[in-house]
Amino acid sequence: MVESVFMAELSWPEWKAKIEAGGIIFIPLGATEQHGPHLPLNVDVILPTAVCEAVARNVGGLVAPTLSYGYKSMPRSGGGQNFPATTSLDANTLSLMIRDIIRDMGAHGARRFVLINGHFENAWPAVEGLDLALRELRRDGITDVIAMRLEYWDFVKQETLERIFPNGFPGTELEHASLIETSLMLLLRPDLVDESKIPQEGRASFPPYDIIPAPPGYLRQSGVLADARGSRAEIGKWLMDDHVSMITEAVRKEFGL
C-alpha cells in the first residue's frame, strides 16, 4: 500500500496508528459551484484539497475526504444559486454533515482537526457544525479535542498580493473565478482551464447588501466576479507557497509541533 496523506487511501490499522501518534486530521471544505466559462465546477474542491495535502505532508497529518458539496452560493461572492450546475446544501445539512464527521472521528480517537475552507459561503455552516460536534463530543466524555478553522486565502503575504496586484488588492470576495483562482488552477490542474474562454468583462461591482431575487443586471452573466485576465501558473505558485507555508506555521504553533 502506498504511503499517503489521504486517509481514504489508508487501511484502518494504518489510520489508527497515525491517530494514536497524534496525527492531525485536515478536512477540506469544498463546493460544486460555477466558476465561469473557463474553469470547472470543482475549483473549490481542488484548491483546499491541495492546500490540505501540502500542509498535512509538512506536519505528518492526514487529509479526510473533501466535502464536495458546500453551502449555497451567494450572488456577491459566488454568483448565486441561479447559475446552472451550482449544487449546494442547506446550511443545516452541511452543519450536520460536519458535526457527524468530526464526532465520529473523535469517537475513534482523533483529537486534532484543521478545517480548511475553499468556498467562502461554507464558513458559517462550518463554524456551526464544529460547535455542534464539540458539544456532542463533550457529552460523550471527550473533552480534549482542539480544532482550527480557516479560509486558506487569508494566509498570504502582503508582498505577494502587491506583486500580483501592483495597483492594490481589491479584496477577496470578488476573486471568485478570477485572477487568483484561475492562477491556482493553472498551477494545479491546467488541463481543466480553458483560457480562451476567460471573460473580458472586467470587475463586477456590488452594492453592500444582498437583494433577493437579484434585479436585472445585478449578476454577471459569465459567473466571473472580477477579472481573470493575466492569470498565470506562476502567480498560483506564489499564492500556494504562501498558503502552505503560513498555514503550516499556524498549525505547528497551535498544536505545539
Contact positions with a copy of itself (CB under 8 A) in 171-210: 191-194, 197, 207-210
By the rule CB under 8 A, 60 interacts with a copy of itself: no
- Minimum gap (Å) between residue 181 Cβ and a copy of itself: 13
The smaller minimum CB distance to a copy of itself, of residues 39 and 52, is found at 39
101 binds a copy of itself (CB under 8 A): yes
Of residues 17 through 56, those in contact with a copy of itself by CB under 8 A are 19, 32, 34-42, 45
Of the candidate spans 1-9, 47-55, 157-165, 230-238, the one that interacts with a copy of itself by CB under 8 A turns out to be 1-9
Handedness of CA 64, 32, 188, 160 (dihedral sign): negative
Q: Minimal distance in Å, beta carbon 91 to a copy of itself? A: 4
DSSP state of 213: S
| Inter-residue contact 108 to 135 (CB < 8 Å) | no
What H or E segment, with its residue span, contains residue 115? Answer: strand 112-117
Whichever of 121 and 227 has its CB closer to a copy of itself, that residue is: 121
Three-state secondary structure call for residue 1: coil
Our finding on whether 11 is near a copy of itself (CB under 8 A) is: yes
Q: Determine if 216 is a binding residue for a copy of itself (CB under 8 A).
A: no
> What are the φ/ψ torsions at residue 27 (nearest 5 degrees)?
-115, 110
- In whole angstroms, how close is the CB of 52 to a copy of itself at the nearest point? 14
Catalytic residue among 44, 151, 175, 242: 44
Grid cell digits, residue 140: 460523550
Per rule CB under 8 A, count of chain residues that contact a copy of itself? 92
* Rounded CA separation 191/143 (Å): 45
Q: Which helix (DSSP H) or strand (DSSP E) does residue 76 occupy? A: helix 75-78
| 38 among known catalytic residues | no
- Terminal-residue alpha carbon distance, the chain: 27
Interatomic CA distance for residues 149 and 147, integer angstroms: 7
Q: How far is the CB of 87 from a copy of itself (least distance, A)?
A: 5
Name the one range near a copy of itself by CB under 8 A: 48-56, 145-153, 158-166, 167-175: 145-153
Q: Does the CA dihedral 76-174-43-94 come out positive or negative?
A: negative
By CB under 8 A, what part of segment 79-98 binds a copy of itself? 81, 83-93, 95-97
Q: How far apart are CA 94 and CA 112, in angstroms?
A: 20
User: Is there binding between residue 74 and a copy of itself (CB under 8 A)?
Assistant: yes
Q: Which of 253, 243, 255, 254 is nearest to 55 (CA)?
A: 243
Task: Give the nearest distance from C-beta 68 to a copy of itself in angstroms.
Answer: 4
Known catalytic membership, residue 108: no
**Catalytic positions, written as ranges:** 33, 35, 44, 119, 121, 176, 181
